[in-house]
Amino acid sequence: MANLSQLKFAMATSIFLSAFIFALLVLIIVSFLDLDPFISLAVVLGGSALFILFQYAIGPAVVAATARLHYLKPGENPWLESTVKELADKTGIPMPKLATVPNNTPNAFTFGRTTSSATLAVHDGLLRQLNQDEIRGVIAHELGHIKHKDYIVMTVLSALPLIAYMIAQVTLRAGMISGGGGRRNKDNSGAALLVIGGISFAIYIITFLIVMRLSRLREHFADAFSAYLTGSPRSLESALAKITYGLSISPKPPEGARAFYIEDPGMAKQEIQQIMQKKNQYDLDQDGVLDERELEIAMEREAKSTWAQMNSLFTTHPPTFKRILLLREIEQEMDTGRYTSEKVYAHV
């Protein structure tokens, strides 16, 4: 049985593990290059801290610019404004800034530096393709991310694997250049750089997996929060199914900070493509169309496949079926009348 403190613990643990592993990388670099340990540590750790602060500072501006946001003026979309205001008040968080994205795919995301300055952005495609109950479910999910401060943690935490990857790229290239040309490098600096590059890349993979695990966990918590806030898990279930299918048929390649979306466009394409490749197997009545029941069976089986479980380690979002299954468990508990605010995250 999960609760909000466990999400906070997972966040703190992820940050600690990533920082600890990254600190080991710094020590390895210092020892291999035989540098002054104090100066080297100060330079690398100070530089990393500045990079993280820089990413935290400019991240929202970059997201706003790349997404081509249109910030809503008061009264421009009365229903959306009143719905977000109602749910935000119920959540106990400040009203976020509202924006729309001129994109026909159904999606939504939140970003910002603080809870009070957060922006909730919805795609035009979401407003057109989903009904009002489904949009409420999506909005409640995004408000859950604001409530949990997910976007702040993810912005800071994702900087560590990025730094490790940049170190790996630089040192591997420098090592190959130093060791190239058929000349023996007397001080073996080329070999040392190659070793550092290899270790840096391994640390990049490890920290990346830690960040991805936290990213998937926060989606489950936001889904459960939405179910509680709206009192209608089925609305978000339906929304997730429509969003996944809508993203899968989009001709445009995935772009932007995919971890911040309610659903990763790249993952949605992958999920549906895998099912369609086995369409004849899942088309039980052989009518050429996968109905809701057949699609549900297909998603369940594909989510349980070994390949899907291994692949999910590298994804920002859980498989859609697992998210729907969690919402159905909550719905069943709500139907019994025993669902309370203390048990919001019980099924995560």
| Per-residue pLDDT tens digits of the chain, which is 348 residues long | 456 677 777 778 887 787 778 777 777 776 766 666 677 667 767 777 777 787 777 777 778 878 889 999 999 999 999 999 999 999 999 999 999 999 899 999 998 888 888 999 999 999 999 999 999 999 999 999 999 988 888 877 888 888 888 888 888 888 787 765 445 554 567 787 888 888 889 989 998 998 899 999 999 999 999 999 999 999 999 999 889 888 887 766 555 566 778 888 877 877 777 777 777 777 777 777 666 667 767 777 766 666 666 777 788 888 888 898 889 889 888 888 777 666 778 777
Determine the 3-state secondary structure of 115 from DSSP.
Answer: coil
Strands 108-111 and 119-123: antiparallel
Q: Per the structure block, which two tokens stand in for 100?
A: 């729309």
Q: What is the DSSP letter of 260?
A: G
CB atoms within 10 A of CB 124: 15
Residue 144 carries which side chain, given as an amino acid letter?
G
Name every residue whose Cβ is closer than 8 Å to that of residue 78 and which is 6 or more positions away in sequence: none
Q: Which is nearest to 125 in space by CA: 299, 245, 278? A: 245
Q: Per the structure block, which two tokens stand in for 346?
A: 């019980």
Sign of CA dihedral 319, 324, 327, 333: negative
Q: Per the structure block, which two tokens stand in for 196?
A: 């550092």
Question: What is the pTM (predicted TM-score) of this model?
Answer: 0.83
Catalytic amino acids? 142
